[in-house]
Chains A and B, each alone.
Chain A
Amino acid sequence: MRLTCTVNGTEQQVDDVWEGESLLYVLRERMGLPGSKNACEQGECGSCTVYLDGLPVCACLVAAGQAEGRAIGTVEGLTDGDTGQLHPVQQAFLDAGAVQCGFCTPGLLVATDDLVGRSLAEGRKPADAEIREALAGNLCRCTGYEKILDAVRLAADRMSEAGR
C-alpha cells in the first residue's frame, strides 16, 4: 500500500508498504529515520516513542496504515533543522550524563519533551513524582534513572528560564 503522512514537518510518501508493518518499521526501514529504536517491538520499553498528532505513542504499536494523513514527530525532529542546534532536552541529557549506551535515549527525549512542554504550558515545572510517573513507560538498563531525572529537571529549568 501507499502511505502518506507528515514526518517532522515534511510530507512523506512511501510505496509498497506491507499492511503488517508498524509505523516504527516504516520510519526505520523505509524512510531512513532509524532514530526511533526497536528494543522490544511490543510496547513495553518506550524506546520507539514518537509524536502522533502531538501525542506520544509507541511507534511499534501503531500499524503503518493508522499513520495515513497524520503528523509524526520523531527524535530526529527535535534538533533545529535550520541551525542544527540541539533542543534543550537533548542538551540537558548530555550535560547531566544521562546518556550511556543511548538506546533508550530517543524515546526518553520525546517523552521528556512532551512532559516538560505540558508542564511549562501550565506555567510550572514538573515535580519529581510527576517525572517518574511520566517516564515509567521508558525502560533504561544503564543509568539507574538518577541522571535521567537530573536531565529532566535541568531541561525544565532551562526551558522555563528561556520562556520568561
Chain B
Amino acid sequence: MSAPTRTPSGAPAHLTGAGGGRVGDDAQRPDGVLKVRGEFAYGSDLWMEDMLWGVTLRSPHPYARIRSVDLGAALAVPGVHAVLTSDDVPGEKVYGLELADQPVLAVDVVRYQGEPVALVAADHPETARLAASRIQVDYEVWEPVTDARVALGHPTPDRPDTSPPRDQVHDAPAEVTELSRESAHLHPQGNLVRHLKVRKGDPEPAADVVVVGEYEVGMQDQAFLGPESGLAVPAEDGGVELYVATQWLHVDQRQICSALGLPPERVRLTLAGVGGAFGGREDLSMHVHACLLALHTGRPVKMSYNREESFFGHVHRHPATMRYEHGATRDGDLVYVRAAIYFDGGAYASSTPAVVGNGGTMGVGPYVVPNVHVDCYGAYTNNPPCGAMRGFGSVQTAFAYESQMDALAAELGMDPVELRCRNAMEEGSPTPTGQVIDSPAPVAELLRRLQAMPLPPEAATGDDVDLRDMPGGVSNTTHGEGVRRGVGYAVAYKNVAFSEGYDDHSTARVRLEVVGGEAVATVHTAAAEVGQGLVTVEQQIARTELGVEQVTVHPKDTSVGSAGSTSASRQTYVTGGAVKAACEAVRARVLERARTVVGRPVADLRLDGGEVVSDAEGIAVPLADVLGDEAVEETLEWRHRPTEAVDPETGQGFAHVQYAFSAHRAVVDVDTELGLVKVVEMACTQDVGKAINPQAVVGQIQGGTAQGLGLAVMEEILIRDGRVQNPSFTDYLIPTVLDMPPMRIEVLECADPHAPYGLRGVGEAPNISSGPAVLAAIRAATGLPLTRVPVRPEHLTGT
C-alpha cells in the first residue's frame, strides 16, 4: 500500500533545509520553506485517491444511559460504507493515558457531552455527517455531576453541610437506591482520581500575619489551529498505517493496539504535520476511530474535525477551585502555607493524576516555606474531560499563590516584589517536597531584572489620545476617562520532563554517511514536532557534535524507539540528550576509524567543517575520505537522572528532575466604568540554562505569554449543567494581534550542570507567570480583590 500523497504536497518528508546553524545559533527551521509555500502536509491535508471520510456521532447529553442505537437509517444513505459502534471495537473497549477508563465508543453510558457514540465512513464528508445525524440513539438522560467538590462529597460554599463520600457504583440505577444520579459515582472505583498530600514541618504553625483567599480558574482550551486529523490506511498484513497529528506516537500506538487487538508491528504510526498542540494532542482523538473504519472498509479513511468538534474532541485545562492560607512573620518571612486544591478532571482520567502531582508538589510557588500542608484533589465529574495543557497543574495554582503573595504584601505594607525576593528559592533551597534545588534558581534575579526595566510611557490624555491604544480600541468607548493604569508582577516555576519516578527516556538513531561526496548526517527520532522547533534543535545538535553542515531529519515514526511525549517542556532536554548521545557514539566510531587514516590518537582528533581535524598536527582530512562507502549508524536510548515517587502520606521525595523559572511584569490600562482591559506591555525574564536556538526560545516565551494573558482576561470554555456554551472561535476568544502588547524579554543562561549543554526546558514557564502578572496589574489598577480568572467586565464594574 502506498503512502498517502497528493499534488503538490507529499507525505511526511525528510527535512533537509535550511541555512545551517549550531547549538546557540538562530538556526532556521527545516520545515519553514514548506510551511510558507503552503506545501507542508498537515494531518488534515493528507489525501489518497480512494479514501473515505470518517465522522463521529457524539452524545448531546453530559450524562445518560444508552437504551438503544438504531443504525438502519444511516446505513441506507447512499455513499455510506460503514457505521460502527462499540460492538465493532475488537480489542479492549476502554483506553487512557494513565488509567484505562475511557471508552473508544460509548458502552451503555455516556459521561460527558460530546462523548463519541458511533462512527460513519462515507465518500464525502457531508454524506458522512448526514448519515451520522440519522443514527437513532435512545437516551435515558441523567442529572450530571458538575462540581468536583460535590463529586467528592466535600463541602462547597453553597453546600456547607454536604454528607460524607458516597459508596454507590455508577451503574446501580438511582431509582433502586433512592439516591439521585448526582449522588452516584461516575466510575466503579469512585469519583476520586487522585489525592496528593504534602506535609512538611509543624502541623500547627503560628504566624504574626495570616491571609486567606479562595480562588477559581476557568476551563481553558488549547485552541491549536490545526484540527485533530489523520489518515488510516489498511495494510496488506492485516494491520494499519496511521498518519496522524499527535504529541507522542508510541503512547498512541500502545492504546491503538489495545483497542484493535493488534500487535505493535501491525500498527505503524507516522507523524503528520501538526498545527499546534499545547497538550491537547496527548490523548487519543480520531486515532482508533479512523483505524477501525479503515480496517472495516478496506479503504484509507481520513478524519479531520471541524472547530466545533475539536472543542469536544480533546481534553482541556482543568478548572480549579483553591483555598489558600499564608502565614508570615511581621518582617515578611513565610512561616506556613496551607492549601486545598480541587481540579475538575471531567468524565475520564486522562492525565489528571499527573496534573494533581504537579499542582500539589509545586502549589506554593518558588518560595522557601518551612511549614506546608497541601491537599490536592482530582475528581471525576460530568464536565468535559480535562488533561494536559501547557503549564500542566502549575498554571492554576500560580494564580492562587501569586495572588496570596500580593495580599500578604499588602497586609504587611511591603512591596510585592520585595516580599517575593525575600522568600525566593535559590540554589540549595529546600522544596516543600524535601528536594534540595541543585542547580541555579535565580528567582530573585529574574524579579530584580524585571523591576529594573523601564516602564512604558504614561497613557496619552486629551487630544493626544489614539483610540487604538485605549481599552475598547476603535469602538470609541473612552478617550481616557475612567481609565486607570496598574502594574503587576508574578513569578513561576515548573518541573521539566516527567516526574515521580517515571522512566522518562528518548531514543535517537543517527547515521553519518557520504552522499554526493559530502558527509551527511541523518537524525531519526519519534519525537513529535508540533511547531516548537525540535526538528531545528535536532539538526543543530548533529551539526555541533559531528561537524557537518548537512543534517537530514527523518520523518517521525514508530520504526524507531519511543522519544517520549512532546510535553512537560522535555523534548529539547530528553530527545536533545538522546540525539547528542547518539552523535557522540557515531563520532567515537568515526574517530576510531580516523585514527589509522590520520595517524593520531583519538584524543587529538575532532570533527569540524566536514573534516577530521588534528589541531596538534595541523592536519585536516575530509570526512568523506574516512567514511568511504560505509555509513556509521548508532541507535541509543537516553535517560535523565531518575526521579522517585513521593510518599503517599507526606508528599516527600525527589519528584522532579529539573525546574524552569520565569517572571513577568504586566502593565495594564483598565476602563473602570466599562470593565475593559488593555494590556499595555508584558515584560518577561526567564532562565533557560542554555538557549539552543535563541530565536526559537524567544518565540516560546512570546507564545506562552500570550496563552497566559488569554486565560487571565478572555479564555474560558463556559459550562452550564455539563454543557459547553461556546464551542467556536466566535465565542471562545483567544488573543488576537490587537490584544497582545509589545513584549520586553530578557533571557538568562544559568547552566544546569545535570542537563545536556546546561539547558532548561523553556515552553511552559512563561505560560504560568504571565496570567498572574496580568491579574495583579488589573488588581493594582482597580483596587478590587479579583479572585477568579478569566476576569470579565462584570467583575470589574460590579454589575
What is A's interface to B at a CB cutoff of 8 Å?
Answer: 18, 20-21, 28-29, 32-42, 44-45, 47, 74-76, 78-79, 86, 90-91, 93-95, 97, 99-106, 109, 129, 131-133, 135-149
CB proximity of A25 to chain B, nearest CB, Å: 8
Closest B residue by C-beta to A90: B36
CA distance A81 to B532 in the complex (A): 30
Chain B contacts for A40, CB-based, 8 A:
306-307, 728-729
Contact: A144 with B126, CB < 8 Å? no
CB proximity of B203 to chain A, nearest CB, Å: 44
CB proximity of A147 to chain B, nearest CB, Å: 6
Among the listed stretches B273-281, B314-322, B414-422, B454-462, which one makes contact with chain A, having 4 or more residues with CB under 8 Å of it? Answer: B273-281
A-B contact pairs, 22 of them (CB 8 A): A18-B124, A37-B44, A42-B728, A45-B729, A74-B38, A75-B36, A75-B38, A76-B8, A86-B36, A97-B695, A99-B29, A100-B531, A100-B533, A100-B703, A101-B276, A102-B32, A102-B273, A129-B468, A131-B737, A136-B737, A142-B531, A146-B742
Among the listed stretches B194-202, B222-230, B789-797, which one makes contact with chain A, having 4 or more residues with CB under 8 Å of it? Answer: B222-230
Closest B residue by C-beta to A34: B45
Contact: B37 with A141, CB < 8 Å? no
Contact: A146 with B740, CB < 8 Å? yes
Select which of A33, A42, A94, A141 is within 8 A of B36 by beta carbon: A94
The 8 closest A-B pairs by CB, nearest first: A35-B38, A101-B531, A103-B275, A102-B35, A144-B702, A44-B729, A144-B706, A75-B38
CB proximity of B358 to chain A, nearest CB, Å: 22
Contact: B38 with A42, CB < 8 Å? no
Closest A residue by C-beta to B693: A97
CA distance A90 to B276 in the complex (A): 20
Is there a chain A Cβ closer than 8 Å to B734's Cβ?
Answer: yes
A133/B702 contact (C-beta < 8 A), A34-B9, A102-B40, A105-B36 known: no
A133/B304 contact (C-beta < 8 A), A45-B225, A144-B703, A147-B699 known: no
CA distance A30 to B531 in the complex (A): 27
Contact: B37 with A76, CB < 8 Å? yes
Contact: A39 with B36, CB < 8 Å? no
CA distance A103 to B226 in the complex (A): 6
Chain A contacts for B476, CB-based, 8 A:
none
Contact: A44 with B737, CB < 8 Å? no
CA distance A135 to B474 in the complex (A): 15
Closest B residue by C-beta to A36: B38
Contact: A42 with B742, CB < 8 Å? no
Is there a chain A Cβ closer than 8 Å to B269's Cβ?
Answer: no
CA distance A78 to B44 in the complex (A): 22
CB proximity of B395 to chain A, nearest CB, Å: 16
Contact: A145 with B737, CB < 8 Å? yes
CA distance A140 to B706 in the complex (A): 10
Closest B residue by C-beta to A135: B737
A136/B738 contact (C-beta < 8 A), A18-B124, A38-B304 known: yes
Contact: B532 with A75, CB < 8 Å? no
Is there a chain A Cβ closer than 8 Å to B787's Cβ?
Answer: no
Name the residue among A41, A94, A104 with the largest chain B CB count within 10 angstroms. A94
Contact: B737 with A42, CB < 8 Å? no
Contact: B740 with A145, CB < 8 Å? yes
Chain B contacts for A35, CB-based, 8 A:
37-39
Contact: A148 with B36, CB < 8 Å? no
Per the 8 Å Cβ criterion, residues 30-49 of B in contact with A are: 31-33, 35-42, 44-45, 47
CA distance A37 to B6 in the complex (A): 15
Contact: B26 with A142, CB < 8 Å? no
Chain A contacts for B35, CB-based, 8 A:
99, 102, 105
Chain A contacts for B533, CB-based, 8 A:
100
Contact: B699 with A142, CB < 8 Å? yes
Per the 8 Å Cβ criterion, residues 239-263 of B in contact with A are: none
CA distance A30 to B277 in the complex (A): 28
A32/B702 contact (C-beta < 8 A), A38-B304, A109-B36 known: no
Chain B contacts for A33, CB-based, 8 A:
38
Contact: B6 with A101, CB < 8 Å? no
Closest A residue by C-beta to B708: A144
Chain B contacts for A20, CB-based, 8 A:
126
CB proximity of A86 to chain B, nearest CB, Å: 7
Contact: B695 with A144, CB < 8 Å? no
Chain A contacts for B734, CB-based, 8 A:
139, 141
Majority SS at the chain B contact face: loop
Chain B contacts for A74, CB-based, 8 A:
38
Contact: A37 with B729, CB < 8 Å? no
CB proximity of A141 to chain B, nearest CB, Å: 5
A145/B225 contact (C-beta < 8 A), A20-B126, A86-B36, A97-B699 known: no
Number of A-B residue pairs, CB cutoff 8 Å, is 187
A101/B274 contact (C-beta < 8 A), A41-B307, A42-B307, A144-B706 known: yes
Contact: B47 with A145, CB < 8 Å? no
CA distance A128 to B133 in the complex (A): 47
Name the residue among A34, A74, A105 with the largest chain B CB count within 10 angstroms. A34
Is there a chain A Cβ closer than 8 Å to B670's Cβ?
Answer: no
What is B's interface to A at a CB cutoff of 8 Å?
Answer: 6-9, 18, 26, 28-29, 31-33, 35-42, 44-45, 47, 124, 126, 222-227, 273-278, 304, 306-307, 466, 468, 474, 530-533, 695-696, 698-699, 702-707, 728-730, 734-738, 740, 742-743
CB proximity of B474 to chain A, nearest CB, Å: 8
Chain B contacts for A102, CB-based, 8 A:
31-32, 35-36, 40, 273, 275, 531
CB proximity of A15 to chain B, nearest CB, Å: 14
CB proximity of A45 to chain B, nearest CB, Å: 6
Chain B contacts for A97, CB-based, 8 A:
26, 695-696, 698-699
Contact: B8 with A141, CB < 8 Å? no
CB proximity of A28 to chain B, nearest CB, Å: 7
Chain A contacts for B225, CB-based, 8 A:
37, 39, 45, 47, 101, 103-104, 139-141
CA distance A37 to B539 in the complex (A): 28
Chain B contacts for A45, CB-based, 8 A:
225, 729
CB proximity of B44 to chain A, nearest CB, Å: 6
Contact: B226 with A99, CB < 8 Å? no
Contact: B33 with A86, CB < 8 Å? yes
CB proximity of B142 to chain A, nearest CB, Å: 32
CA distance A45 to B732 in the complex (A): 12
Closest A residue by C-beta to B302: A29
Chain B contacts for A21, CB-based, 8 A:
126
Contact: A94 with B730, CB < 8 Å? no
Chain A contacts for B707, CB-based, 8 A:
141
Chain A contacts for B698, CB-based, 8 A:
97, 147
Contact: B730 with A42, CB < 8 Å? yes
Chain A contacts for B702, CB-based, 8 A:
143-147
CB proximity of B386 to chain A, nearest CB, Å: 19
CA distance A105 to B225 in the complex (A): 11
Other contacts beyond A42-B729, A106-B36: 7, CB < 8 A: A40-B306, A45-B225, A94-B18, A102-B35, A103-B224, A131-B737, A141-B225
Select which of B42, B466, B530, B729 is within 8 A of A139 by beta carbon: B729
Chain B contacts for A78, CB-based, 8 A:
37
Chain B contacts for A144, CB-based, 8 A:
699, 702-706, 735, 740, 743
Closest A residue by C-beta to B304: A38
CA distance A79 to B699 in the complex (A): 25
CA distance A21 to B129 in the complex (A): 13
Name the residue among B36, B275, B532, B735 with the largest chain A CB count within 10 angstroms. B36
Name the residue among A28, A104, A141 with the largest chain B CB count within 10 angstroms. A141
CB proximity of B736 to chain A, nearest CB, Å: 5
A136/B736 contact (C-beta < 8 A), A34-B38, A94-B32, A101-B225 known: yes
CB proximity of A129 to chain B, nearest CB, Å: 5
CA distance A31 to B735 in the complex (A): 33
CA distance A40 to B533 in the complex (A): 24
CA distance A143 to B743 in the complex (A): 12
CA distance A32 to B728 in the complex (A): 27
Contact: A75 with B37, CB < 8 Å? yes
Chain A contacts for B304, CB-based, 8 A:
38
Closest B residue by C-beta to A97: B695
Chain B contacts for A29, CB-based, 8 A:
47
Contact: B38 with A138, CB < 8 Å? no
